[in-house]
Amino acid sequence: MALRADVPAACPGLPGQFFRGANLPWVRYGGDFGANIWSPAGGVATRGIPDHIRETLTRLRDVGVHWLRWFVLCDGRAGIRFDAHGLPLGLDAHVRHDLDAALAYVDALDLVIVPVLFDFHWFARRRIVQGVQTGGRRAAIARAARRRALLDRVVSPLAAHVAGHRAVGAWDLINEPEWATFGLGSWNPFTTIRRSVMRRFITEAAAVVRAHSRSPVTVGLAQARGLDLVAGLGLDFYQVHWYDTHSDDRPLDRPVEALALDRPVVLGEFPTRGSRRSPEAIVDAARAAGYAGSWFWSVQAGDAATDCAAALTAMTCAASATPRSPEG
């Protein structure tokens, strides 16, 4: 399938465009793509999309929200086959079907997704829950041979399977990698990797994805302070997240041009609940500061930072202020 005509043009940062998006970020964390004991027949291809999510995404589409950030492999609890020593062997039998179902669904709604390959919880301490390992996959990225296996046997076939699909708007290689980078988000050597290794992983993962896809590549940083972690790695656009705890260190109102970056910046997450600012005020501040777009948290996470009803109001106001461009 050919890329939708507006996807290459929709690479964030074109003058006069402000890209409104949302973090789904999952229907069920770690269970949308692939099988485990909680989803033995696979993810969204079997279980489908709940009606309330369908209704919300349709309403978002109607107010000009066309980007949907969706976590794929998460903390490794589903979707990947490992041997007894933690060496990645390949995708499980369900991932491709689940990806096909998700892409067909969003394509029918005139949305594009940003698949987030890995989450920082991938590096969390190993836990066995009902026979399923969650986290504890640090070595699959920290060790060169295992990282190569992960990229060649998991990331490459995943990217190849959806190569050229018009509903893939961009790729997010890892969510908030700072929390898994030693000395940046944590000092725990058992749940982090060195900065140089994280940069190497991001560089190698980007090259593997680009071998199959023309869609832009990014990394969802926990905050603007983490930009040094990915600077110079050739990402197509930068993506930073903002919550109130970041206000003093990296204020939202600081102009993007002051960051002196070589690529546009998207506000990839912001709270719709529990903030001293309303979602509308955050979107307005991001636009005024020069961000290329803002993607709210969240449609479905169900945490203390999520209020989808408030997000819908904010996106409706944003749509009224800025007409949707012909490209997207």
The confidence score (pLDDT) of residue 105 equals 97
**pLDDT over threshold 80, residue 324:** no
Rounded CA-CA distance 88/154 in Å is 7
**pLDDT over threshold 60, residue 323:** no
* Cα dihedral across residues 222, 223, 229, 232: positive or negative: positive
DSSP 283-306: HHHHHHHT-SEEEEE-SS--STT-
Using alpha carbons, select from 258, 217, 218, 265 the residue that is nearest to residue 242.
Answer: 265
Mean pLDDT check: name the lowest of 9-23, 111-125, 177-191: 9-23
93: phi then psi, degrees, rounded to nearest 5: -75, -10
Rounded CA-CA distance 134/74 in Å is 9
pLDDT in tens, 71-96: 999 999 999 999 999 999 999 999 99
Using pLDDT thresholds of 50, 70 and 90, give the confidence band for residue 320: low
The confidence score (pLDDT) of residue 41 equals 96
Rounded CA-CA distance 277/298 in Å is 16
pLDDT in tens, 202-221: 999 999 999 999 999 999 99
Using pLDDT thresholds of 50, 70 and 90, give the confidence band for residue 251: confident
- More confident position, 235 or 314: 235
The confidence score (pLDDT) of residue 17 equals 77
175: phi then psi, degrees, rounded to nearest 5: -85, 125
Give mean pLDDT, residues 26-51.
96
Mean pLDDT check: name the lowest of 6-20, 85-99, 116-130, 141-155: 6-20
Start-end of H helices in the chain:
6-9, 44-47, 51-62, 95-108, 139-142, 144-150, 156-161, 195-210, 227-230, 279-289, 308-321
User: Of all residues in the chain, what percent carry a pLDDT higher than 90?
Assistant: 87
153: phi then psi, degrees, rounded to nearest 5: -100, -15
User: Of all residues in the chain, what percent carry a pLDDT higher than 70?
Assistant: 91
Residue 66 belongs to a domain: yes
The confidence score (pLDDT) of residue 289 equals 96
Please measure the distance between the N-terminal and C-terminal CA atoms of the chain and give it in whole angstroms. 19
Rounded CA-CA distance 49/130 in Å is 25
Residue 289 belongs to a domain: yes
Residue 326 belongs to a domain: no
Rounded CA-CA distance 100/157 in Å is 14
The model carries a pTM of 0.93
Conformational region of residue 76, where left means phi above 0, alpha means psi within -120 to 50, and beta covers everything else: left
Rounded CA-CA distance 291/312 in Å is 20
Residue 64 belongs to a domain: yes
What does R_g of the chain's alpha carbons equal in angstroms? 18
**pLDDT over threshold 70, residue 321:** no
The number of beta carbons lying within 10 Å of the beta carbon of residue 262 is 9
Asked if the bond preceding 320 is cis, omega within 30° of 0, the reply is: no
Domain range for residue 107?
6-321
Give the pair of three-digit tokens for residue 39: 């989803």
pLDDT in tens, 256-289: 999 999 999 999 999 999 999 999 999 999 999 9
The confidence score (pLDDT) of residue 248 equals 64
The confidence score (pLDDT) of residue 2 equals 38
Residue 327 belongs to a domain: no
Whole-number average pLDDT of the chain: 91
Question: At which residue do the structure tokens 């995708």 appear?
Answer: 91
Here the CATH number for the domain that contains residue 179 is 3.20.20.80
DSSP 125-154: PPEEETTEEES--THHHHSHHHHHHHIIII
In contact, 282 and 269? CB cutoff 8 Å? no
Residue 221 belongs to a domain: yes
Q: How many structural domains compose the chain?
A: 1
The number of beta carbons lying within 10 Å of the beta carbon of residue 173 is 25
The confidence score (pLDDT) of residue 69 equals 98
Residue 100 belongs to a domain: yes
Using pLDDT thresholds of 50, 70 and 90, give the confidence band for residue 319: low
Pairing of strands 132-134, 88-91: unpaired
Rounded CA-CA distance 252/254 in Å is 6
**Residue 90 burial by Cβ neighbours in a 10 Å radius (0-12, 13-18, 19+):** middle
pLDDT in tens, 1-35: 333 434 334 454 444 578 899 999 999 999 999 99
Residue 328 belongs to a domain: no
**Vertex 156, ends 80 and 220: CA angle to 5°?**
80
Pairing of strands 112-119, 19-23: unpaired
